[in-house]
Amino acid sequence: LRTNGSLCSICADRATGKHYGAASCDGCKGFFRRSVRKNHAYTCRFSRQCVVDKDKRNQCRYCRLKKCFRAGMRKEAVQNERDRISCRREGQAAGSLSISVLLQAEASTQQFSSWTPAAHSDITAKKIALVGDVCESMKQQLLLLVEWAKRIPDFCELPVDDRVCLVIDSAPHLGGGSAYSLCWNSHDDLPVTGNDFVIPVSGPELEVSKVAARILEELVRPLRELDITDSEFACLKAIIFFAPDCPGLESPQPVRRVRFQAQVLLDEATCEQRGRFGELLLMLPPLQSVAWQMVEQLQLARLLGEASVDSLLQEMLLGEGASAAATASTAAATRASDNFTSVILPVPTGKFGSIYHFNMLNLRGAFLKFSRQADSEQYF
Amino acid sequence: LRTNGSLCSICADRATGKHYGAASCDGCKGFFRRSVRKNHAYTCRFSRQCVVDKDKRNQCRYCRLKKCFRAGMRKEAVQNERDRISCRREGQAAGSLSISVLLQAEASTQQFSSWTPAAHSDITAKKIALVGDVCESMKQQLLLLVEWAKRIPDFCELPVDDRVCLVIDSAPHLGGGSAYSLCWNSHDDLPVTGNDFVIPVSGPELEVSKVAARILEELVRPLRELDITDSEFACLKAIIFFAPDCPGLESPQPVRRVRFQAQVLLDEATCEQRGRFGELLLMLPPLQSVAWQMVEQLQLARLLGEASVDSLLQEMLLGEGASAAATASTAAATRASDNFTSVILPVPTGKFGSIYHFNMLNLRGAFLKFSRQADSEQYF
DNA sequence: CTAATTAGGTCAAAGGTCTA
DNA sequence: GTAGACCTTTGACCTAATTA
């Protein structure tokens, strides 16, 4: 009667209006208020994936509260005193970085991707990835990463050299299909690259399979168990990307500030679920580790001549000078990215030394050189 | 009080209100709920005409339940089981790990250390560390690490092989003077090893100095800026140590639980200071990175013959077989640790392969082998 | 000014706990 | 394992403050 037919977005019972930011029933409304007021820390007796519906909503308070937050309820909307029913307006956060900026950046680069979640269903149709395919995926992801970064105002305000540094440094973690995107795309039991190959745990290439096993065990599984949300993922990506310790950074301080912002946003996005924020941040060390192993394996594969690492990627990831085939293959890379609003230009040939940078990212030199070309600034 | 003089319509005891559709006492209320929930089918031993009153209500369940229904109780009014309310259970489920346990573990291993903060004042008196000195420091720290771990009950409850795994895996991060202990001991502008050497930023050994610079820039400085407390440091150490992704772990789940505990303790230790918890956890990736570089440099130094890496440490950190000098040097190591309640026994000689484990920790093999000696279990 | 919303509050009757 | 005295949580229903 009082509700125009809408359902509670938490338990699908009849909603009595919007409460604390989400259409909900009186039960969930009261539950949320009590939980926030008493600062309750529930624990799930199962695996934090309980079904929350009208019948079962009282069976797990942890999962019910989690769903309240995910449905959009904000704890700030719960007022403490009776006469504080004022200020009902929407308050905007202080910093320029916000969840919505990050979500939009994610969304608008998703459209460039040829791969869509809907096409995800048929695993058997996918080809098995060899080292070369992984490299190809990494290259594609790297182009997307630039697009993504450009949609974040704080990124655009950085010095151009630092922008380049950040993209390059985070390539193995984010742009590389290696870790981040693999987590995102993968099935429970099979890593899938951005270009729709699967990496089998027991495949023809032993070393690749080893990485696949680590991805599943150390990254995909914990993230599935946490059941990470889009917002959380977006924040995590920003935290990884804005790395103040990134080598070669001119002014790390602005980067540190942005990461701080992102980190606080993640904390808020986890909605007070006990321990969740920490568990999400603790994904970073294994992510870093797996990303490095990935790069290691590519290097190894290159040495053994098992794979034809694309020259552009080789230049970028391994810090080697472009080979004779560079011109042709980078031209292809440029073609392949015609539908991007910007491309990463072919890197000028040249040796960048063979010093083994510990972050395993000698690509910096290549990109820094690239970025100093006057006409390239428009791309960043 | 709450019952306005009405009687239980089943047994005529004092009613505590309407329950399931009938005015009833707590006894009949509970009896009805249990009966319906468990779907009990009682039988009457007499002629199904038993008297049900306050005194005799427990003499025939069949007749009591029948009277409940006749009084108007409806089984539809009995709901599904709900979540647990109890908070007493959380007291023990919260685990034995606490701030005080961690602080005590820290304190009681500090006493073994020859180095004391008070002796810290005169930097100029300290010797400049060469690679060999760094190794010596790492060895000492590793012994301390075992002592530290043994004072944490959760550690002692783990399978012996997993205990060994954890010590070895975290050696470069914690036991190794490389990162953690260096941060702790160091001045603002000069890293100091556990054995009281300084690592100069511009010293005779270029590679060592590079690491020193990273330690200062990426670890010491941020930690100074945060002005980390003892409690926070203790938690951070535990978080690093209890690494569920540690390779070779038999049962990662208990380790993950302990790390969760430690992580939540750190959150509490930061006392609600906005962003502080996150900033502290974000120290882990650079810590990991620096630790790896440290191990890398040791390996490099060994290859170049610049340093005489102690055989025990070599065995443990680089995964190489003990050299000819092993017996002598491990004997020295044992002597040096006479005042520990346990020592790490000399590792039996043997090759452990030269496969480059990505975590840069081939030591696992060495320690696992060690741990399988029956008489060695007492040391863990 | 009134209606629509959505804060806050109440308390009967669900639930669970725990000793005997 | 059950019984039942005792405590907590739920949610339907209420009032009140703000806003269109």
Q: Measured between alpha carbons, how far is A53 from A50 in angstroms, rounded to an integer?
A: 10
Q: Determine the Cα–Cα distance for residues B257 and B261; give it in Å rounded to an integer.
A: 6
Using pLDDT thresholds of 50, 70 and 90, give the confidence band for residue B346. very low
Residue type, A290: V
H/E run at residue B66: helix B61-70
Q: Which of A289-303, A347-361, B180-194 comes out lowest in average pLDDT?
A: A347-361
Worst-scoring range by mean pLDDT, A83-87, A170-174, A368-372, B307-311? A368-372
Question: Near strand C (CB < 7 A), which residues?
Answer: A 2, 4, 16-21, 26, 29-30, 33, 58, 77-82, 84-85, 88; B 2, 17-21, 26, 29-30, 33, 77-79, 81-86, 88-89
C11 closest protein residue (CA to C1'): B2
| pLDDT surpassing 60 at residue B119 | no
Q: Let me know: does A290 contact A179? Beta carbons within 8 Å.
A: yes
Report yes or no: A250 at the B interface, CB cutoff 8 Å. no
Q: Do A259 and B282 lie within an 8 Å CB cutoff?
A: yes
Torsion sign across C-alpha atoms A11, A14, A16, A18: positive
Whole-angstrom distance, CA of residue B124 vs CA of residue B130: 16
**B278, A288: Cβ pair inside 8 Å?**
no
Closest-approach nucleotide to residue A26, Cα vs C1': D11
Picking from A65, A258, A274, A279 by the largest number of B CB atoms within 10 A of its own CB, the best residue to mutate is A279
Contact status of A31 with chain B (Cβ, < 8 Å): no
Residue B156's pLDDT is: 93
- Calculate the angstrom distance between C1' of C3 and CA of A15: 20
Q: Tell how far CA B56 is from the center of its chain.
A: 56
The answer on pLDDT for B77 being more than 70 is: yes
What is the DSSP secondary-structure string of B305-353?
A: T-S---HHHIIIII-PPP-TTHHHHHHHHHHHTTTSSS-PPPPPP----
Residue B259: is its pLDDT beyond 80? yes
Give A200: exposed, middle or buried? Use CB within 10 Å, 0-12, 13-18, 19+.
middle
Beta strand A22-23 pairing with B18-19: unpaired
Return d(Cα A69, Cα A75) in angstroms, integer: 8
Contact B285 A286 (CB under 8 A): no
Q: Which residue has the tokens 């992801």?
A: A141
* Among B81, B263, B282, beta carbon nearest to A59: B81
Highest mean pLDDT among A93-97, A321-325, A350-354: A93-97
Query: How many CA atoms are closer than 13 Å to the CA of A350, on its beta-carbon side?
Result: 11
Handedness of CA B123, B126, B130, B135 (dihedral sign): negative
* Distance of alpha carbon A143 from alpha carbon A149, whole angstroms: 10
Q: Which of B259, B274, B359 sits opposite A289 (nearest CB)?
A: B359
**With left for phi above 0 and alpha for psi between -120 and 50, is residue A321 left, alpha or beta?**
beta
Of B242, B261, B263, nearest to B252 by C-alpha is B242
Gap from B358 CA to chain A (nearest CA, Å): 6
Token digits for B151? Answer: 């004072």
pLDDT-derived band at B86 (thresholds 50, 70, 90) equals confident
B288 interaction partners in chain A (CB closer than 8 Å): 285, 288-289
What's the pLDDT at A181? 58
Question: Is A323 an interface residue toward B (CB < 8 Å)?
Answer: no
Under 8 Å between Cβ of B294 and B178: yes
| pLDDT for the residue numbered A341 | 27
- Cα angle value B151/B227/B272 (rounded, 5°): 80
pLDDT category of residue A186 using cuts at 50, 70 and 90: low
A245, A281, A285: residue with CB nearest B278: A281
Answer yes or no: are the C-beta atoms of B154 and B97 closer than 8 Å.
yes
Mean pLDDT of chain B: 74
Residues B284, A285: C-beta atoms closer than 8 Å: yes
Judged by a CB distance cut-off of 8 A, whether residue A286 touches chain B is: yes
To 5 degrees, how large is the angle CA B323–CA B329–CA B331?
A: 125
Task: Give the bases of strand D that a protein CB approaches within 7 Å.
Answer: 2-6, 8-13, 16-19
pLDDT band at A324 (very low <50, low <70, confident <90, very high): very low
On chain B, the residues whose CB falls within 8 A of the CB of A245 are 217-218, 285-286, 289
> Cα(B164)–Cα(B248) distance, rounded to whole angstroms?
10
- Put simply, the answer to whether A285 touches B281 (Cβ < 8 Å) is no
Q: Å from A57 (CA) to D5 (C1')?
A: 28
Which residues are within 8 A (CB) of A374 and not within 5 positions of it... i.e. 6 or more apart? Answer: none
List C-alpha distances in Å: A141 to A134, A163, A194, B155, B301.
10, 17, 7, 41, 37
Whether B318 shows a pLDDT value over 70: the answer reads no
From chain A, pick out residues whose CB is under 8 angstroms from the CB of B239.
282
The pLDDT assigned to B271 comes to 84
Nearest CA in chain B to A357: B293
| Count of CB pairs separated by less than 8 Å, A with B | 90
Residue A162: pLDDT over 80:
yes
CA–CA distance, B357 with B363 (Å, rounded to integer): 10
User: In chain A, what residues touch B281 (CB-CB under 8 Å)?
Assistant: 278, 281-282
* B162 or B197, greater pLDDT: B162
pLDDT at A101 over 50: yes
> Exposed/middle/buried for A374, CB within 10 Å: 0-12, 13-18, 19+?
exposed
> How far apart (Å, rounded) are the C-alpha atoms in residues A267 and A100?
15
Residue of A nearest to B89 (CA): A43
Q: Chain A: residue nearest B277 by CA?
A: A278
Q: Which nucleotide's C1' sits nearest to the alpha carbon of B26?
A: D4
Q: Is B210 helix (H, G, I), strand (E, B) or coil?
A: helix
Chain A, 89-148: which have a CB under 8 Å from a chain B CB? none
Q: What is the pLDDT of residue A312?
A: 61
* pLDDT of B97 strictly over 50: yes
List the A85 CA – D15 C1' distance (angstroms).
13
Query: Distance (Å, rounded) from C-alpha A182 to C-alpha A315?
Result: 22
pLDDT tier for residue A374 given thresholds of 50, 70 and 90: very low
Contact state of B289 with A358 under an 8 Å Cβ cutoff: yes
- Flag if B289 and A359 touch (Cβ within 8 Å): yes
Chain C: nucleotides under 7 Å from a protein CB?
A: 5-10, 12-18
CB under 8 Å to A320, separation ≥6 — which residues? A314, A351, A352, A354, A362
Contact across the interface for A43 and B90, Cβ inside 8 Å: yes
Instruction: Say how far apart CA A303 and CA A323 lie, in whole Å.
Output: 14
B176 has a pLDDT exceeding 50: no
- Please judge whether B288 and A285 are an interchain contact, meaning their C-beta atoms are less than 8 angstroms apart: yes
Contact B193, B185 (CB under 8 A): yes
CA distances from A337 to A341, A342, A374 (A): 9, 8, 21
Banded model confidence at residue B359, pLDDT cuts 50, 70, 90: very low
Token match 């427990």: residue?
B58
The residue of chain B with its CA nearest to that of A300 is: B356
Residue A229 or residue B173, greater confidence: A229
Would you state the pLDDT for residue B20? 97
DSSP state of A376: G
Q: Which helix (H) or strand (E) holds A22?
A: strand A22-23
Lowest mean pLDDT among A40-44, A209-213, B195-199, B363-367: B363-367
Per-residue DSSP letter, A90: P
pLDDT at B7 (0 to 100)? 92
Measured from Cα to the C1' atom, the residue closest to D2 is: B31
Q: How far is A74 from chain B (nearest CA, A)?
A: 18
Of B93, B264, B359, which has the smallest distance from its Cβ to A275's Cβ? B264
Chain A residues touching B245 at Cβ < 8 A: 217-218, 285-286, 289
Question: pLDDT confidence of A258, banded at 50, 70, 90?
Answer: very high
Beta-carbon contacts of residue B11 (< 8 Å; ≥ 6 apart): B25, B27, B28, B52, B53, B54, B57, B64, B67
Residue nearest to nucleotide D15 (CA to C1'): A82
For the CA of B92 and the C1' of D12, the distance in angstroms is 37
Tokens, residue A255:
């980067």
Q: Which of A334-343, B15-24, B58-67, B176-185 has the lowest mean pLDDT?
A: A334-343
Whether residue B267 contacts residue B231, with contact meaning beta carbons closer than 8 Å, is answered with: no
- Using the Cβ of A60 and the Cβ atoms of chain B, whether some distance falls under 8 Å is answered with yes
Task: Compute the average pLDDT of residues A293-306.
Answer: 74
Report the candidate in B267, B276, B179 with the shortest Cα–Cα distance to residue B219: B179
